[in-house]
Amino acid sequence: MRRIEVIKKLETCELIEDGIVTVGTFDGIHTAHQEIISRVVEKGRELNTRTTLVTFDPHPKLVVKKNGGYSVKILTTTDEKVEVLNDTDLDRIVVVPFTKEFSRKTPNQFVSDILCDTIGMQYLIVGFDHAFGKNREGDIDSLREFGKTRNFGVEVQESIDDDRGKVSSTRIRNRLSEGNVEKAHSLLGRPYRVTGKVVEGVGRGRKMNFPTANIEVESRNKCTPANGVYIVSVLIDDSRFNGVMNIGQKPTFNEHNITLEVHLLDFNEDIYGKVVKVDFLKHIRGEKKFASIEELKNAIDTDVDYSRNYFEDNAIK
Res 32 pLDDT > 70: yes
User: Which of 124, 225, 212, 217 shows the shortest CA–CA distance to 183?
Assistant: 225
Q: Confirm if 30 and 191 have CB atoms less than 8 A apart.
A: no
Res 116 pLDDT > 90: yes
Q: Where are the beta strands (DSSP E) in the chain?
A: 5-7, 20-23, 51-57, 92-97, 123-127, 153-157, 161-162, 165-166, 192-199, 213-217, 228-236, 239-248, 259-264, 275-286
Of residues 263 and 250, more confidently modeled: 263
Question: Which stretch of DSSP H or E encloses residue 108?
Answer: helix 107-109
Q: What's the whole-number average pLDDT of the chain?
A: 90
User: Which of 94, 81, 88 shows the shortest CA–CA distance to 21?
Assistant: 94
CATH class of 192-314: mainly beta
163-188: pLDDT as tens digits:
888 999 999 999 999 999 999 999 99
Give me the numbers of helices (H) and strands (E) for the chain, helices first please.
Answer: 10, 14
CA distance 228 to 17: 50
What's the Rg (C-alpha) of the chain? 22
CA distance 90 to 133: 25
- The residues, ordered by sequence, that sit 6+ positions from 165 with a Cβ below 8 Å of its Cβ are 171
Of residues 2 and 252, more confidently modeled: 2
Q: pLDDT > 90: what percent of the chain?
A: 74
- The residues, ordered by sequence, that sit 6+ positions from 58 with a Cβ below 8 Å of its Cβ are 74, 98, 221
CA distance 257 to 262: 16
> Which CATH architecture does the domain made up of 9-165 adopt?
3-Layer(aba) Sandwich (3.40)
Torsion of CA 26, 28, 34, 36, to 10 degrees: -20
Q: Where are the beta strands (DSSP E) in 37-169?
A: 51-57, 92-97, 123-127, 153-157, 161-162, 165-166
* 5-14, 278-287, 289-298: the lowest-pLDDT one: 289-298
Q: Confirm if 94 and 10 have CB atoms less than 8 A apart.
A: yes
CA distance 200 to 198: 7
Q: Confirm if 261 and 245 have CB atoms less than 8 A apart.
A: yes
Give residue 317's pLDDT band: very low, low, confident or very high (50, 70, 90): very low
53-108: pLDDT as tens digits:
999 999 999 998 764 545 789 999 999 999 999 999 999 999 999 999 999 999 99
Q: Confirm if 115 and 74 have CB atoms less than 8 A apart.
A: no
pLDDT score, position 258: 81
pLDDT score, position 206: 56
pLDDT score, position 297: 84
Domain boundaries, the chain: 9-165, 192-314
Res 232 pLDDT > 60: yes
pLDDT score, position 295: 81
Q: Confirm if 87 and 33 have CB atoms less than 8 A apart.
A: no
pLDDT score, position 291: 67
What b/e readout covers 184-206, taking b as 16+ CB neighbours within 10 angstroms? bbbbbebbbbbbbbbeebeebbe
Res 1 pLDDT > 80: no
Of residues 132 and 207, more confidently modeled: 132
Give residue 147's pLDDT band: very low, low, confident or very high (50, 70, 90): very high
Handedness of CA 99, 104, 110, 114 (dihedral sign): negative
Residue 104, SS3 per DSSP: coil
